[in-house]
Amino acid sequence: MRIGVELKEIPSKWFSVVPDLGFTVPPLMSQSGYPVSYHDLASLAPSSIIDQELDKVTREIPIPGEVSSAYADWRPTSLFRADRLEKTLDTPARIFFKYEGTDITGGHEMNTAVPQAYYAAKDKGVKCMVTATANGEWGISLAAACNRFGLECKVYMVRSNYEQKPQGRYVMELLGAEVIASPGNTTRTGKKILAENPSSPGTIAIALSEAFEYAQTKDDTKFAWGTVMNHVLLHQSIIGLESRQQLQKAGVRPDIIIGAVSGGSGFGGLILPFFREREQKPRVIAVETSVAPSLSKGRYAYDYGDAEGLFPMLKMYTLGHSFVPPGIIAGGMRYHGISPLISALYKEKQIEAKTYTQHQAFEAAVGFARSEGLIASPETAYAIKAVIDEALICRGKKERKNILFLFDANSNLDIVAFKEFVDGALQEQLTPDDDISLALSKLPQIPE
């Protein structure tokens, strides 16, 4: 049941929680052990993006008119009440979800792709944006956003996805982007990896290194981050800002907020605007996949964001930048770290973390689809599992809690995986604790 679609307007400002936190989020760190400055990022990112990334004092940042106009093509997105799921579960809890499946790419990534392309196009001499993607959702969004602002787009796509799940690639190419399998022979990083392992299937961390290296060598090209970074969470705050307004209009205060975390962009976008309020903070649950439990089993430490250590270091809950989890359908959730902002909130015990296996998540998503008629992305499947568990606790305790979760994307690229799950052909995956210990032993050594 859709509620709260009737927002008169889209929020005019993004929201940054940083000034309100009451504690300091450790800064990005260069390899030489100094906090990263504007200068260190200047060759990589659009100037306004660097300003936003490093800004620690501004609570509200105006959304530029052209970005707002683009947002208006699909925003405000709808807030739904999962009333049929509530009935199926026979729970007194009320379940709400923010539905980010309506933009042209079917996911939430356009919220940050659009401003990144907009700011890049404003910078003098910039003609191209480059990024890394796994399944393709993020790459599709950047391709569409570049298209809108007259930029070329170049995407390094994890080779195993490029070859085995090419639908996302086809969409990017159709939108005019150049898609390159990673690792490949066009970068030093790619050549090095292929020399070690000619049949390397790639990881998102490797693809990030390749894209980052490419951006460093091209004056007319800027790198675009799809998640993790402060500016990405800033842009995604539009999700939570709208949700708050829509719930307020419906007279609802959320008791529990739930989202799946990959790098933390959709999750952060949903929850952070609820941290503005000093009182009655909701319980917040970050849901991880059991194969890559950065918050639950990782270490809070400085680590690289990419495989080769070309990125600045980030203080985050990490499994180690060399960590390679088994393949799961929710490819983005295999990333070794979590946004520094989300990591700091977890360190401060302001949010909780839960892990579920791939099978647990898919089973929940199938139940949801049969109740609500919507097939969730594999990432959202994890969130749904946590939602169902909380709703069942409410049933046991006869508590009428309000649960809000993020439906981050549709499953357009992943229907076959659902079929395999229903047929019993989708493998469960586990990560041995030793793999995590090994990767953690390879964390970069820097003064803390």
The single residue among 195, 415, 430, 438 that binds a second copy, judged by CB under 8 A, is 415
CB of 266 to a second copy, least distance (A): 19
DSSP annotation of 412? T
Residues 15-54 that bind a second copy (CB under 8 A): none
Give the residue with the Cβ less far from a second copy, 366 or 393. 366
Q: Does 397 bind a second copy (CB under 8 A)?
A: no
Q: Does 176 bind a second copy (CB under 8 A)?
A: yes
| Window of 173-181, 227-235, 295-303, 307-315 that interacts with a second copy by CB under 8 A | 173-181
Q: Does 12 bind a second copy (CB under 8 A)?
A: no
The torsion of the CA quartet 283, 289, 294, 297, rounded to 10 degrees, works out to: 90
Q: CA 242: distance to chain centroid?
A: 18
CB of 153 to a second copy, least distance (A): 11
Give the residue with the Cβ less far from a second copy, 271 or 376. 376
Q: Does 250 bind a second copy (CB under 8 A)?
A: no
- CA 195/CA 115 separation, integer angstroms: 37
The single residue among 170, 216, 220, 277 that binds a second copy, judged by CB under 8 A, is 170
- CA 218/CA 126 separation, integer angstroms: 10
CB 316 within 8 Å of CB 303: yes
Which positions from 58 to 87 touch a second copy by CB under 8 A, shown as an x/- string? -----------x--xxx---x-x---x---
What is the sign of the dihedral through the CA atoms of 208, 214, 216 and 218?
negative
List Cβ neighbours of 52 (8 Å cut-off, separation of 6 or more).
Answer: 61, 230, 231, 234
Query: Which amino acid, one-letter code, is at 434?
Result: D
Both tokens of residue 123?
A: 């910078």
Tell me which residue has tokens 């050549």: 191
Query: Which amino acid, one-letter code, is at 126?
Result: V
Q: What is the 3-state secondary structure (H, E, C) of 147-208?
A: HHCCCEEEEEEEHHHHHHCCHHHHHHHHCCCEEEEECCCCCHHHHHHHHHCCCCCCCHHHHH
Please give the span between the terminal C-alpha atoms of the chain, in angstroms, as a whole number. 50
Pairing status of strand 152-158 against strand 283-289? unpaired
Q: Does 174 bind a second copy (CB under 8 A)?
A: yes
| Window of 126-134, 141-149, 284-292, 346-354 that interacts with a second copy by CB under 8 A | 141-149
- CA 235/CA 132 separation, integer angstroms: 19
Both tokens of residue 402?
A: 């309000």
Rg for the chain (alpha carbons), in Å? Answer: 20
CB 292 within 8 Å of CB 323: yes
Q: Which of 386, 388, 409 is nearest to 86 (CA)?
A: 388
CB of 419 to a second copy, least distance (A): 4
The single residue among 42, 195, 422, 438 that binds a second copy, judged by CB under 8 A, is 422
Helix, strand or coil, per DSSP, at residue 323: coil
CB of 126 to a second copy, least distance (A): 20
What is the number of residues in the chain? Answer: 448
CB of 395 to a second copy, least distance (A): 21
Q: Does 102 bind a second copy (CB under 8 A)?
A: yes
CB of 87 to a second copy, least distance (A): 11
Q: Does 175 bind a second copy (CB under 8 A)?
A: yes
Which residues are paired to 129 by β-bridges?
153, 222
The single residue among 63, 144, 324, 329 that binds a second copy, judged by CB under 8 A, is 144
> In the sheet that 402-407 helps form, which strands lie side by side, from edge to edge?
2-3, 78-81, 94-99, 402-407, 256-260, 283-289, 352-356
| Window of 302-310, 383-391, 400-408, 415-423 that interacts with a second copy by CB under 8 A | 415-423
CB of 106 to a second copy, least distance (A): 8
Give the residue with the Cβ less far from a second copy, 149 or 156. 149
CB 194 within 8 Å of CB 183: yes
The single residue among 88, 160, 167, 296 that binds a second copy, judged by CB under 8 A, is 167
Q: Does 152 bind a second copy (CB under 8 A)?
A: no
| Window of 89-97, 242-250, 339-347, 373-381 that interacts with a second copy by CB under 8 A | 373-381
Give the residue with the Cβ less far from a second copy, 195 or 416. 416
| Window of 90-98, 172-180, 257-265, 291-299 that interacts with a second copy by CB under 8 A | 172-180
Give the residue with the Cβ less far from a second copy, 10 or 233. 10
The single residue among 17, 274, 418, 426 that binds a second copy, judged by CB under 8 A, is 418
Q: Does 359 bind a second copy (CB under 8 A)?
A: no
Q: Which residues bind a second copy (CB under 8 A)?
A: 1-2, 69, 72-74, 78, 80, 84, 102, 104, 144, 147-148, 166-167, 170-171, 173-176, 366, 369-370, 373-375, 412, 415-416, 418-419, 422
